[in-house]
Copies of this chain bind each other. A is one copy, B any other.
Amino acid sequence: MIENEIISLIKDADAIAILPHVSADGDALGSSLALALALNALNKKPAVYFEEEMPNTYSFLPGREFAEVYSEKPDKYGLVIALDTGDMERLGKRAAIFNDADSTVNIDHHTTNTQFAQLNLVNTNSSAVGELIYQLIKMMGIDIDKDIATCLYVAIATDTGGFRYSNTTPVTHQIAADLINNGVDVSYITQTVFETLSLQKVKLMGKAVESLELLENGKLAIIKITDDLLKNIGAREEDCEGIVNIGRNIEGVEVAVVIRQREGGDLKINFRSKNYVDVSAIANRHSGGGHKRAAGCTIKGDINDIKEMLIKEIQEVL
């Protein structure tokens, strides 16, 4: 069992570096800090290296005292563990730490994982890497205290969209039950992680609704976001994330599109579908990619011309 080999490496190690992927999300951050807290309880010397500053949303997470933003290559580590990282590229500059280590471990749940370490624990049935870290901590016999439980709960809750995505399994809920039993403050995490939006994001959502057009008997929703609009609101590119769901979630809509104008004239297109349209096929025509129900591409051209072109392409498959 690969878990036992990993545990044996951990027991033999002293200083251990933990590397979440670049632009670390709730699962990458929560799993990394939970593992650091657990290793500290084992009297190891854990260090989490982030590629960037941690997003504000997650600044309440316990275990931050073991984390730092990578600036220059630290001393060689005996053991390095990459978390939630599909391939070496997703380690960014911190690949230097990984490449330098005596032993390397890769714990992940992405189907695309390239098995890039000496020991690879990749379970694509896990909703979150948080599930795998939970099981590893249990196997090591470490007590899951409130701090570790909080980190793991955030990892799992964020990667399942709050237990709402199809990756949510009975195991996901069983683990959540145990974590809450160990002291997780569910409503605090809900408020902090799921219910706090920046004013800019809220304003952008309002403007997106204003620009929303329903076409094809309400089956197609299109939202346009111009670069000027973003600038006027003071919103950032990352605030556009999820805007396409405003269209998708409207009753009767099958395909939702967001056309976002970027500085320089490129148009970034996001597609979502609900039940039957394969939007990745449309994105592929324009050198984009994705899944049947969520895809994207980048096109050059006039925003209104491109909108009309996309409407025609979508009409054919609705």
Contacts and interface: CB of A to CB of B under 8 A. Distances in A.
Interface string A174-199: 10111011000011001100111111
A88 to B, nearest CB: 32
A202 interface: yes
Given A164-B190, A195-B245, A202-B250, 18 more contacts: A162-B162, A165-B186, A166-B186, A170-B177, A170-B178, A173-B176, A173-B180, A177-B177, A191-B274, A196-B249, A197-B250, A198-B251, A199-B218, A199-B250, A202-B246, A206-B208, A206-B209, A209-B209
| Chain A binding surface SS class | helix
A245 B208 CA distance: 18
B163 A197 contact: no
Q: Give the 7 A-B residue pairs with the shortest CB-CB distance, closest first.
A: A206-B209, A173-B177, A166-B187, A170-B177, A164-B190, A173-B176, A170-B181
Copies in the complex: 2
B199 A214 contact: yes
A299 interface: no
Nearest to A245: B195
A210 B250 CA distance: 19
